Amino acid sequence: MTPSLASLRPHWFVACTAAAVGARPLPRTILGVPIVLFRAAGKIAALIDRCPHRNAALSQGRVTGDLIECPYHGWAFDAGGVCRRIPGLPAACEHPHQAAEAVRVAEREGLVWVWVGKNEATPEAFPPNRHVALGDLRFDTFLWAATAQCALLDGVENLLDACHPHFAHAGLVRRAQKRRTVGVNVRRDAEGVEAIYQENARPDGLIPRLMEGRRQTSIGRFFPPGTAQLEYTGPAGPQFLLTSMFTPCDERTVLIHSCISTPRKMAPAWLKKSVLRAVFGRVLRQDQDVLRRQQENIDRFGGAKFTSTPLDVMRPHLLYFINHPEKADRSDYATTLTMEL
């Protein structure tokens, strides 16, 4: 089971980084809805990517001043979708039937969030900041954008799954031949779920050995509808924090915008960023390949048919939040289990 795109439309999702919105229109598809983003008076605006005149894609036009211009007949629209100019008509042209449909948009901490629900509906509350290291001068923080060919649920589970790195990222993140028994504490409330793995050992994968000392815990968190987080802690506190916001484009494609934070140490931020892009870029490409091939095989068999074990720690809770979209319907839960990690 995976959430339908329509059921997710009351929520806010990340469309892009603020830096991605430049002098040209930027097309995006969010929850199956084509939109276009552009800058007007220095602020980011978003419209449904369709001119009301002859349905041309506004994203194929251009930005002139504070207006986005349709490539077909030159109709120009402001940030609210009001048609401000129709070439050949000297009179005002602000009739409602001539307006493009505006999309609610908000910019926060380098990310652009959009809400593609119906205009007459009330959006969910704007999501809180889940990445606690943002703005914390003790950490270097970087933004990362990517795309994966998979369903939302499968993409989130991939990030939070503790068992696939032994094989999909063998040697880089974990090693299949070196496992140890760990306790896992799972806690769930109305806001989300977290799984805390009590590792208390030095990591054996190449990447964590380069970036961490002794790891005490690794923590996976999920905040519905689409935010997943990894946190690795050592004796001195958090050593690595990754928060990824998943945005479904359609049933089989997700945008992923991630904040990555590590403690400030002797290495300058620019060097750390270069190393992160190199090593985590490889891990990301491996996950993208796994997810693409998984989706292709699901399609080949006409749909998904999963079997799970207690090792699939997060999957039952991801399904739980799909089945309980309202916070009032959610109940607290806690359990402890043992696994080899």
Question: Model confidence over 9-20: pLDDT tens digits?
Answer: 999 999 999 999
Q: Give the CATH number of domain 5-115.
A: 2.102.10.10
pLDDT of residue 95: 76
pLDDT of residue 1: 63
DSSP one-letter string for 287-314: HHHHHHHHHHHHHHTTS------TT--S
Phi/psi for 197 (5° steps) reads -95, 120
Contacts of 246 (CB under 8 A, 6+ apart): 152, 155, 156, 226, 227, 228, 254, 255, 256
pLDDT of residue 248: 98
Question: Largest Cα–Cα distance in the chain?
Answer: 76
Q: Which of 272, 295, 286 is nearest to 211 (CA)?
A: 272
Is there a cis peptide before residue 225, judged by omega within 30 degrees of 0?
Answer: yes
C-alpha triplet 165, 170, 175: angle, nearest 5°:
85
Topology (CATH level 3) of domain 139-340: Naphthalene 1,2-dioxygenase Alpha Subunit; Chain A, domain 1 (3.90.380)
pLDDT of residue 287: 97
pLDDT of residue 92: 66
Name the CA radius of gyration of the chain, rounded: 22
Tell me: pLDDT of 91 over 80: no
Mean pLDDT of the residues in the chain:
92
Average pLDDT over residues 89-93: 76
Domain range list for the chain: 5-115, 139-340
Phi/psi for 289 (5° steps) reads -70, -45
Average pLDDT over residues 46-61: 98
Order across the sheet with 83-85: list the strands. 62-64, 67-69, 76-77, 83-85
Looking up tokens 């699939």, which residue turns up?
312
pLDDT of residue 273: 85
Share of the chain above pLDDT 90, in %: 75
pLDDT of residue 129: 92
Which pLDDT tens digit goes with each residue over 231-247?
999 998 999 999 999 99
Share of the chain above pLDDT 70, in %: 98
Q: What is the pTM of this model?
A: 0.94
From the number of C-beta atoms within 10 Å of its C-beta (0-12, 13-18, 19+), residue 310 rates as exposed
Tell me: pLDDT of 66 over 70: yes
Rounded Cα–Cα distance for residues 33 and 98 (Å)? 20
Rounded Cα–Cα distance for residues 284 and 165 (Å)? 11
C-alpha triplet 7, 126, 239: angle, nearest 5°:
105
Bridge partners, residue 241, by sequence: 231, 261
**Which tops the pLDDT comparison, 138 or 123?**
138
pLDDT of residue 267: 80
